[in-house]
Amino acid sequence: MPIKIPDTLPARTTLEAEGLVVMRETDAARQDIRPLQFGLLNLMPDKPRTEAQFARLLGATPLQVELSLIQLASHTPRNTSADHMSAFYRTWEEVRGRTFDGFIVTGAPVETLPFEQVGYWDELRRIFDWTRTHVHASFMVCWGAQAALRHFHGVPKHQLPQKRSGVYAHRIVEPASPILRGLSDEVDIPVSRHTEVRREDLPADGRLKVLLESDESGLCLLEDAQQRALHMFNHLEYEAGTLAEEYVRDAAKDPAAPLPAHYFPGDDPTRAPSNRWRSHAHLLFANWINEIYQTTPFDLEAIGR
């Protein structure tokens, strides 16, 4: 996994402990190639954990990937130390002059709020517009995907009666899509959200193509060719225990919080769940990165022209 991240980033220790090869900055400098430039706009409260989750998947390729961590200027994180943020992150204002081969926007714990009531909504809308001219391909996740669909296409989100949490079976809708190459006909994917985007609200002109969908949990993955973007409403980046940790947190606030569906063995929260989606997560991200590699300009400055 030749992914280049800062030598002192905590995610490096996590990934190296898993046996993954993480390129050191000094080694990368000696290679006479252009690494793919990826940006991660991290809107999640636990920044280090999210960094590790996506760095793990961006390494699902033999290509060299250089990851830049980005934060909003209009929002100050409360769950990650200021030292960590100043050491490893740059604001979007600081990097907006750059171009990126790939750009990821994570989810955020604001999905029950109307978009316009989110404090950083205006800045995020400017970032979405910026991706059209400075990013070759984008990957929007969970609330980030809902926000992008609202911004670009006016697609609404709908509040669910209760949080939808669990590991749900999803079927491939577009088997010829290169993004889905090699995936099984049925894919188990973690779901964790309070809202949803519905198929009937998608534009009638077909510009948004459904790639993955579940009879139980609804839409999962959309392709927006016009914006060169994928919109993933669920969480292939999750580790095996992530839903369990969320359940413990939710149950502490509300003892009636439902168990994540199809997750704990025998629906027994004392038993450790297994990761049934890891291989599909790595494969889908490898497919996405390969498509970027095949189509991105060699000269980064040519992106968006």
Number of domains in the chain: 1
| Model confidence, pTM | 0.90
Q: What is the pLDDT of residue 16?
A: 67
pLDDT tens digits for range 244-256 = 999 999 999 999 8
140-149: pLDDT as tens digits: 999 999 999 9
Specify whether the CB–CB gap between 107 and 142 falls below 8 A: yes
In a domain, 255, yes or no: no
Beta-carbon contacts of 25 under 8 Å, excluding residues fewer than 6 positions away, are 4, 6, 7
Pairwise CA distance, residues 71 & 90, whole Å: 6
**234-272: buried (b, 16+ CB within 10 Å) or exposed (e) per residue?**
bbbbbbeebbbebbeebeeeeeebebbbbbbeeeebeee
Q: What residues of the chain score a pLDDT lower than 50?
A: 1, 27-28, 30-31
Note if 235 is an active site residue: yes
The pLDDT value recorded for residue 33 is: 67
Q: Give Cα 147 distance to the centre of its chain.
A: 13
How much is the pLDDT for 299? 77
Question: Is-catalytic flag, 142?
Answer: yes
Token output for 302: 């040519």
Catalytically annotated residue among 66, 196, 237, 291: 237
Range of the domain at 43: 3-239+278-302
Residue 87 confidence (pLDDT): 93
- pLDDT at position 32 is 52
Whether 199 maps to a domain, the answer reads yes
Look at residue 140 in the predicted model and tell me its pLDDT. Answer: 98
Q: Between the CA of residue 38 and those of 70, 128, 158, what are the distances in Å?
A: 10, 15, 31
Q: What is the pLDDT of residue 60?
A: 75
Q: Which of 134, 142, 231, 280 is catalytic?
A: 142
Domain annotation covers residue 62: yes
In a domain, 191, yes or no: yes
Residue 269 belongs to a domain: no
Within a domain: 144: yes
CATH of the domain at 187: 3.40.50.880
E strand or H helix at 105, and its extent?
strand 100-105
**Catalytic residue chosen out of the listed positions 170, 231, 235, 280:** 235
Per the domain annotation, does 270 fall within a domain? no
- CA atoms in the 13 A half-sphere facing the CB of 38: 27
